């Protein structure tokens, strides 16, 4: 189910398209974002349909539709990303902790302004990220 990526994502920044109607899109308050990757592995595309049939929703994809964010719609909050935290922007990682999860609209209202800074801006290409190679990887 997990397979080596055709191209390693270690040290890469890539855009993520946030699919409408998902919790991820509501939390970002945007249609896309740029995120940092340290991965050599990802979900095997051959299994995506089966995962979806089991209730997992794909909520973020790469430029070519590659799976980047998944969530469980019937769960209070269950989300996983292929990308990872980065030092310059640690505050963007926010867990809706503890109690009831607000509906996506409320979550977007509270988190949108912060995450909005992460929106990708068309026409402003990013410089390549410094290559960082952890000893182990995801």
Partner 1 sequence: MAATAVAIVGDFDPTNPTHRFTNEALARLRLSFEWVPTDHVPEQPADRLRGYAGLWIAPASPYRSMDGALAAIRYARERGVPLVGT
Q: Which residues bind partner 1 (CB under 8 A)?
A: 38, 72, 75-81, 83-87, 90-99, 101, 132, 134-138
What gap in Å lies between CA 24 and CA 103, rounded to an integer? 12
In the bound complex, what is the minimum distance in angstroms from residue 91's beta carbon to partner 1? 5
Give CB contacts under 8 A, 24+ apart, made by 72-81. 73/22, 73/23, 76/100, 76/101, 77/23, 77/101, 79/23, 79/24, 81/35
Give 113 or 122: the residue with its C-beta nearer to partner 1.
Answer: 113
Smallest distance, partner 1 to C-beta of residue 51, A:
13
Q: How far is the CB of 133 from partner 1 (least distance, A)?
A: 10
The smaller minimum CB distance to partner 1, of residues 99 and 124, is found at: 99
Q: What minimum distance in Å lies between the beta carbon of 41 and partner 1?
A: 8
* 98-111 exposure pattern, b = at least 16 Cβ within 10 A, e = fewer: eeeebeeeebbeeb
- Which residue number, 17 or 38, has a Cβ lying nearer to partner 1? 38
Q: Which is nearer to partner 1, 122 or 128 (CB)?
A: 128
Measured in Å, how far apart are the chain's first and last C-alpha atoms? 14
Residue 107's beta-bridge partner residues? none
């Amino acid at each position: 189910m997990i397979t080596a990526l055709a191209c390693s994502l270690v040290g890469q920044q890539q855009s993520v398209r946030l699919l409408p109607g998902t919790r991820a899109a509501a939390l970002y308050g945007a249609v896309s974002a740029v995120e940092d990757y340290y991965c050599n592995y990802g979900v095997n595309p051959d299994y995506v349909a089966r995962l979806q049939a089991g209730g997992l929703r794909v909520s973020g994809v790469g430029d070519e539709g590659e799976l980047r964010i998944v969530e469980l719609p019937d769960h209070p909050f269950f989300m996983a990303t292929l990308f990872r935290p980065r030092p310059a922007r640690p505050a963007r990682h926010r867990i809706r902790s503890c109690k009831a999860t607000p509906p996506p609209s409320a979550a977007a209202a509270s988190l949108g302004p912060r995450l909005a800074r992460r929106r990708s801006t068309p026409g402003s290409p990013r410089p390549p990220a410094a290559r960082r190679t952890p000893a182990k990887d995801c």
